[in-house]
Amino acid sequence: TTSPTQSSTAATPTPTPSPETPADLDRVGHLLSSLGYTVSKTDPSAMYLNLPACEASIRQTEDYIEIIGGAQQEQGDYDQVFSWVENFNAHSMIPTMLAARDKDTDEVHIFGTFRIPTTWNYTNDQLAEQVDRGLDAVNKAIEGYHQGYSV
């Protein structure tokens, strides 16, 4: 036995963290199910998920993993949507919100975007946290927009 002033010589095993490597779409895809997300469809350049407030896509560009979720209003008031987006972006760090209008149909779209740099190295836990944070932020912003959330 050891006294309270003596230290034990038995080493406590320390879990080995996953190595830090750049983010990529394959790694993100492997992490999604452990985070509780289900991929509804895939194509060579993206994965799609049905979130409670919107459908989201996850794509990889040269420099980023991009999480994009959106909503559409038929014949919407673009100026009102754009004003909401400007206000949201002025008061919230994530996600970045965008508004767009199809001039042919006058449909108004709102999008939330969250980017994860692919040039940075992440452990699996760090990358999972970023992906979960991005999906949650995009979903909550679109949900807030639908509920008339004022920032």
User: SS3 for 84?
Assistant: helix
Kindly report the pTM of this predicted structure: 0.82
The whole-number pLDDT of residue 13 equals: 56
| Distance set, CA 111 to CA 16, 44, 75, 83 (Å) | 39, 22, 16, 14
Residues of the chain with pLDDT under 50: 1-8, 151
Residue with tokens 């975007």: 113
Nearby residues of 120 by Cβ (< 8 Å), 6 or more positions away: 22, 23
**Which residues are 122's β-sheet partners?**
21
